Amino acid sequence: MPEAATRELTFAQAIREALAEEMRRDKRVCIFGEDVAEAGTPFKVLSGLVEEFGRERVLDTPISEAGFTGMGVGAAMTGLRPVVDIMFGDFLTLTMDQLVNQAAKVHYMSGGTWKVPMVLRTTLGATRRSAAQHSQSLHAWPSHIPGLKVAMPSTPYDAKGLLKTAIRDENPVVFFEDKMMYKLKGPVPEEDYTIPFGVADVKREGADITMVATSSMVQVALGAAEKLEQIGVSAEVIDPRTTWPLDEKTLVESAKKTSRAMVIDEGYGRYGVTGEIASVIAEGAFYSLEAPVKRMGAMHVPIPFSPPLEDVTVPTEQTVFEAARVLCGKA
């Protein structure tokens, strides 16, 4: 949690600041991806970096996600610390071989001799009216793969701290940013800080129900918690911040305390993040739970374009509030 919150930054600014500071600190850090230099990415997250660090360290690539992710692996093995930019999380599909068969396995297959200190930054999140190929939240895939770490911040503060940790980590880290959150503001201290992986953050304390929420869903859960308070339900909101490593203890302890839990994640609800976390809680807090763990994820459909359709495919403050109310027997 922020200590000396002297100023507010947007989520995008926090990301940019983390990159700039790490690039100043360590000459080996470099960035590559599509339109990262010329345009500072379509989301303008990287604006200004090429001016400071030059085209030797901020490199515009062709539209070759597999190729330049693979280059990230090789560059990381041989002395650079690349931050690979994959514009939309949907394009992870193109990088899976490099990420999963190469990056994740190099260290292990080589008996621990080679390392891959690479960060792959990408996005997640729907409701941007971008349709099925630009709206997915595919973080469950890398979370499934040993050898990768997966971070997904939900505030500007976490974004900066986790990204610095990712860059300093000796392993491949997949870093998911909710593209709808780039303009979200929050306190970010001026001093250098990092946030350890595998440490969940209690975003709000509560006594009656545990809401585990990730990335984009943390704000949604906090909003729902406000509403719940109005009907006398005290909700605890916990953000694991990294799906791997996963801070099982904090999640389980909270569920033991509240005796009710739900998991809210913007990835598809099936065979994804909610299944894992719900299982961890159902197992760890088995003898304390008064009701089944409730899971909420994206509807099991490709994300539709049309606003009235798209809006019903992801959990909202209202749907989370209602589900929590039912779970707490206040319906």
Partner 1 sequence: MTIATEQSKVIDGVKVEQWVRMYRRMVMVREFEENVNELYTRALMPGLAHLYIGEEAVAVGICEALRETDYITSTHRGHGHCLAKGAAPDRMFAELLGKKAGYCKGKGGSMHIADPATGNLGANAIVGGSAGIATGAALSAKRLGTGQVTVCFFGEGALGQGVLYEVMNLAALWKLPVIYVCENNLYNEYTHFSETTAGEMSSRGMAFGVPAESVNGQDVRVVYAAAQRLVERARRGEGPAFLICNTYRYHGHHVGDINREYYRSKQEEQEWKTKRDPIKNYAAWMIENKVADTTKLEEIQKEVHAEMKAAVEFAIAAPYPSPEEAEQDVYA
Ligand X SMILES: Cc1ncc(C[n+]2csc(CCOP(=O)(O)OP(=O)(O)O)c2C)c(N)n1
Active site residues: 134
Bridge partners of 151? 175, 242
Bridge partners of 60? 33
Give the shortest CB-70-to-partner 1 separation in angstroms.
1
Give the shortest CB-276-to-a second copy separation in angstroms.
4
CA-based nearest residue to 298, from 137, 95, 114 = 137
x-or-dash string of contact with ligand X, 80-119, rule CB under 6 A:
-------x---x--x-------------------------
62 φ, ψ (degrees, to nearest 5): -65, 175
Q: Please spell the DSSP secondary structure of 299-322, one letter per residue.
A: -SSPPPSSHHHHTTTS--HHHHHH
Tokens of 117: 């200190």
Q: Which of 1, 4, 5, 63 binds ligand X (CB under 6 A)?
A: 63
Residue 62 vs 232, nearer CB to partner 1: 62
Residue 20 engages a second copy in binding (rule: CB under 8 A): no
Residue 254 engages partner 1 in binding (rule: CB under 8 A): no
Site for a second copy in 100-139 (CB under 8 A): 100-101, 104-105, 108-109, 131-133
Residue 106 engages partner 1 in binding (rule: CB under 8 A): yes
x-or-dash string of contact with ligand X, 9-48, rule CB under 6 A:
-------------------------x--------------
Q: Which of 43, 141, 176, 182 binds a second copy (CB under 8 A)?
A: 141
Please name the residue that has the structure tokens 């880290």: 173
The C-alpha atoms of residue 238 and residue 247 are separated, in whole angstroms, by 11
Site for partner 1 in 5-34 (CB under 8 A): 28, 30, 34
- 78 binding partner (options a second copy, ligand X, partner 1, none; Cβ < 5 to 8 Å by kind): partner 1
Site for partner 1 in 260-299 (CB under 8 A): 299
x-or-dash string of contact with partner 1, 212-231, rule CB under 8 A:
--------------------
8 φ, ψ (degrees, to nearest 5): -110, 140
Residue at 72: amino acid letter: G
Residue 131 vs 202, nearer CB to a second copy: 131
The C-alpha atoms of residue 280 and residue 275 are separated, in whole angstroms, by 9
Residue at 102: amino acid letter: Q
Q: Which of 18, 22, 125, 134 binds partner 1 (CB under 8 A)?
A: 134
Distance of CA 69 to the CA centre of its chain: 19
Stretch in the footprint of a second copy (CB under 8 A) among 42-50, 76-84, 215-223, 299-307? 299-307
CA-based nearest residue to 269, from 305, 237, 296 = 296
